[in-house]
Chain A
Amino acid sequence: MTREEVFVKLNEIFQDVFDDEDINVNDATTAADVDGWDSLEHINLLVAIERGFGIRFTMGETTGLKNVGEMVDKIMAHLG
Chain B
Amino acid sequence: MSLVSAAFLAFVAITAIIYYLVPGGARRWILLIASLAFCASCGFYSLVFVLLEAVTTFIGGLLCGPDKKKGLRNVSAIITVILNLGILCAVRYYGVIGMFEESLNQVLAASPATKTFMTYVLPVGMAFYTLQLIGYTLDVRWEKTAPEKNFFRYLLFATYFPYFTSGPMNSYADLSVKLDGSKNAKFSFDRLRDSAIRIAWGFFKKLVIADRIAIIVNNIYGNHETYTGLYVFIGAAAFAIELYADFSGCMDVVLGASHFLGIDLPENFNSPFLSHTIREYWQRWHITLGGWLRDYLFYPLLRTPAFIKIGDVSKKLLGKKKGKKIPVDVALIILWAAVGYWHGGLMKYVIGTGLLHCFYIILGEIVEPVSVKLRKVLHSDKLPYKIFQTARTFFLVMLGHIFFRAVNVPDAIEMYKAIFRPFAINGEWIASLGLDTSNWIVLFASLAVLIAVDIYKYREKQEEAPRLVLEKIASKPLVVSWAVFMLLFIAVLVFGMYGLGYDSGAFIYARI
Q: Could you tell me which A residues sit within 8 Å of B by CB distance?
A: 19, 39-40, 43-44, 46-47, 51, 58-63
Query: Known contacts A40-B328, A58-B142, A63-B144: does B303 contact A46 (CB below 8 Å)?
Result: yes
Interface size class of B (residues with CB under 8 A): 10 to 19
Residue numbers in B under 8 Å from A51 (CB-CB): 308
Residue numbers in B under 8 Å from A39 (CB-CB): 294, 299
Residue numbers in B under 8 Å from A43 (CB-CB): 299, 302-303
State which of A46, A47, A60 has its C-beta within 8 Å of the C-beta of B144: A60
Cα A40 to Cα B300 in complex, Å, equals 11
> What's the dominant secondary structure at chain B's contact region?
helix
B321 touches A19 (CB 8 A): yes
B143 touches A58 (CB 8 A): yes
Residue numbers in A under 8 Å from B321 (CB-CB): 19
Query: Known contacts A43-B303, A47-B303: does B143 contact A19 (CB below 8 Å)?
Result: no
Residue numbers in A under 8 Å from B183 (CB-CB): none
Task: Name B100-145 residues within 8 Å CB distance of A.
Answer: 138-139, 142-145
- Closest approach, in angstroms, between the C-beta of B178 and any C-beta of chain A? 18
Cα A9 to Cα B320 in complex, Å, equals 20
Residue numbers in A under 8 Å from B138 (CB-CB): 59
Cα A39 to Cα B299 in complex, Å, equals 9
Most buried by A among B299, B302, B311, B324: B299
16 further A-B contacts with Cβ under 8 Å, apart from A43-B302, A59-B143, are: A19-B320, A40-B328, A43-B303, A47-B302, A47-B311, A58-B142, A58-B143, A59-B142, A59-B144, A59-B299, A59-B300, A60-B143, A60-B144, A60-B145, A62-B299, A63-B295
Residue numbers in A under 8 Å from B311 (CB-CB): 47
Write the B335-374 contact mask toward A (1 if CB under 8 angstroms, else 0). 0000000000000000000000000000000000000000
Write the B308-321 contact mask toward A (1 if CB under 8 angstroms, else 0). 10010000000011
- Closest approach, in angstroms, between the C-beta of A11 and any C-beta of chain B? 18
Residue numbers in B under 8 Å from A46 (CB-CB): 303
Residue numbers in A under 8 Å from B295 (CB-CB): 63
Residue numbers in A under 8 Å from B300 (CB-CB): 59
Cα A47 to Cα B328 in complex, Å, equals 13
- Closest approach, in angstroms, between the C-beta of B362 and any C-beta of chain A? 14
- Closest approach, in angstroms, between the C-beta of A75 and any C-beta of chain B? 16
The 5 closest A-B pairs by CB, nearest first: A59-B142, A60-B143, A60-B144, A60-B142, A43-B302
